[in-house]
Each structure stands twice: as structure tokens, then as C-alpha cells.
Amino acid sequence: MSYIDDRSEKLRILHSIYSKDISDYIVSLSDIRLLNRISDVSKNRGIERSLFNVFPFNYSRLDHSFGVACILENFKQSTLDVTRGMLHEAHKPSFSYSVDYLVDYFKLKDYEKKTLFDVLVNSKNFLDNALSRDISIQDLVNYKNYKLGFATFPRLSAETLEFILSNAFLTNLCEAKEIAELYNNITICKNEDNEDEFGFTDISLATKFFKISLEIGRKRRSYESKITEQLIADVLMLMIRREEISIDDLYKYSDEELVQIGKSSTDRRIQEGWQQIENLCKVYTKFNPTNDRSKYCVKVEDRSIYIDPLVKTKFGNIRLSSISENIEREIKNYLETDTDMYMYIDYEL
């Protein structure tokens, strides 16, 4: 079944808000072999596999990329830019952020991330398609230079806009009509660096979007999210050490395929590790690490996610935090909130 036909009803609603008339080009890109794997690579880091009610839904990197491409097309961006939107996640390993934890925590000096260039040059079918449209690999791999598409938080690009709106809708923070109201108020502005950036024309909607982004940021760096990601990283590392998988397999298999390899392992600890992840429902916190060896105890840092949007006014395009002292205070409090205590669960890996 094609990607466009296999989407859930909620995704169909969301994508129809992004673009009333999705082009055949976007649809054709969504089904190329290069993107097949990331259709089962979680954008939510695998957190949905636990019993924590933080991100209790399936949302893949392909779902996200499709949405980004729809947004860019809706705002009349070029074929190159739309293609960048569809492909910008193609090189991500399965359980992506957990793999980052794995690399940092175990100091894997010989680990070398695959780049978008790597996956493009090894995908002849896509290469033929891209070159026929006068799109070069170099244009595609430099996607981060395209700020309207891929600016980092707290600026609002197509990538960050899709991330916030999809999470707001799929976590039921907002109904479809609220998503549409926010999205339809978006316009392209020049920011303080004279770069294109998405912004709002209504300050009340900009404020609502900001508060939604804070709520999603809190979910992302919650102890429930972090303990799930770290446990996934540890089980994957155990699978690598036991030679059940290799580092390269993280780019070959999908999330679910890696889980099934683990569950079929003859190593009891690997099997129980995946079972424990699926049964996670409670995490405890301490200022100091526990000495109880029967407890799984870790400390994980994570970035703070939020959007400080531009507002288009008669005085120019102004960052929301510079208009409202309350917003500025909320950002400061959010960034200073302590979320770096030790976490532990009743489990010994």
C-alpha cells in the first residue's frame, strides 16, 4: 500500500490542513525506497513504546517529512525546497535520539554517523529521479542553510512548525480547528538577521502557539521521556556488544525490526530489556544516585524545546518575547526549571 493511502485518519486531517491540494510530486517522493525505512522510525524517539502517557501515538519520521514538504509547497517554495523537506530525515538511524544517548554515554569513538550525502549516493533510483529535475545532491545535503525550512529552536521554520503542530494535534492539546486557525495565521517574515522566517499576524495566536510549544517541550524533556530513551539506548548497546546487531544495522533496520531481533535473542537480558521498556509506567527521581544495584539509575540531560515566534506588526516584525514581559518571564522560568535529577526504576539491566 502506498504511503498516502496508509496514513491514519488523524494524519490525513493534519496534512489536509497543511495543504489543501497535495501535489503528485510529493506523493511520488513519499513512496521511494530511500524513505521506506523511516516510515517505521519514530519521530517520538520510541517513547510511545512505554506505558507512559507522554506521546501515546505512532508518528514516524516520514510522517513528519511529508508534513514539512506539504507546508513548504503550500507557501510556494521551490521544487528543490519541497524535496529537501521530504528527504531531510532520510539519514537518521532507527531510535535516533536514543542512539545519540548511546554514543555519548558509552563514548563510542569509532561511531560515525551516516550523513544525508551517504544515503543519497547509495540510492541510485532516487539519484536518477533527482537529477532529472536538475536537483543536485549538494543542493539537498545543504538543506540546513535553508532557514525557512530548517531553522533551529526557538525560531519558527517549516520543520519546527510541523513538529509543534503535529504534536499538539496528536497529543490532543489542540483540536483540528485550532490547528487550522494557528496555521492559517502564519505568514513569511524577515527576522532580525534579515532571513525568511515564519511568523504570526495575530499576537494572541502567536502567544497561544508559544504556550503550546512550551507544553510540548516539557513533555520532551520529562523524566518519563528521558528514562525510556536511555533504557532503549542501553538495550541497543547490549545488543551491539552481544553482536546481535552492528552499528550499521541502526541504519539498515526500522525500529520494529530491531525490537523483534532483540525479542528473538537467546540473551535473556536483551529480551527482558525490551519487555521492561514496554511495561514502563513509573519513574522515580533523586538528587543523588541510588546505591541499590537492583535499581536502574541514570542521569540524562536534554535540550529545551520552545518557539519564540515573530509577530508581524505595523512597527515591523517583532519577536514575541520582546513584546511581552510575561512571555520573557515564562521562557526564563522554563529554561531554569530543574529537570536534571537522577532517575531510577525497579529494574537491573
pLDDT tens across 51-89, in order? 998 998 899 999 999 999 999 999 999 999 999 999 999
When divided into structural domains, the chain yields a total of: 1
The answer as to whether 295 is a domain residue is no
72: containing domain: 7-222+304-336
Work out the burial of residue 303: count CB atoms within 10 Å of its CB; fewer than 13 is exposed, 13-18 middle, 19 or more buried. Answer: exposed
- Alpha-carbon span 204 to 184, nearest angstrom: 14
Put the strands of the sheet holding 296-298 in their side by side order: 284-286, 342-345, 296-298
Q: How far apart are CA 125 and CA 117, in angstroms?
A: 15
Instruction: Give SS3 for 312.
Output: strand
Buried b (16+ CB within 10 A) or exposed e, 309-339: bbbbeeeeebbbbebbeebeebbeebeeeeb
Q: Is residue 166 part of a domain?
A: yes
CATH code assigned at 147: 1.10.3210.10
Q: In what order do the strands lie in the sheet with 186-190?
A: 186-190, 196-200, 310-313, 316-319
pLDDT band at 130 (very low <50, low <70, confident <90, very high): low
Mean pLDDT of the chain: 90
pLDDT at 116: 82
Residues 345 and 280 sit within 8 Å (Cβ to Cβ): yes
CB atoms within 10 A of CB 80: 18
C-alpha 167/C-alpha 182 separation (Å) is 14
The single-letter DSSP state of residue 241 is: H
Name the residue with cell 525505512.
37
Contact 224, 52 (CB under 8 A): yes
Instruction: Read off the pLDDT band of 191 (50, 70, 90).
Output: very high
Per-residue pLDDT of 35-53, as tens digits, reads: 988 999 999 889 999 999 8
Does residue 270 sit within a domain?
A: no
Task: Classify residue 272: in a domain, yes or no.
Answer: no
Domain membership of residue 252 (yes or no) is no
104 inside domain:
yes
pLDDT per position as a tens digit, 165-180: 999 999 999 999 999 9
The answer to whether position 281 is within a domain reads no
For residue 136, the model assigns a pLDDT of 82
Is 233 domain-assigned? no
122: its cell numbers = 547509495
Task: Give the model's confidence band at 120: pLDDT under 50 very low, under 70 low, under 90 confident, else very high.
Answer: confident
pTM summary value: 0.93
pLDDT band at 131 (very low <50, low <70, confident <90, very high): low
The whole-number pLDDT of residue 348 equals 65
**pLDDT tens digits along 243-255:** 999 888 988 899 9
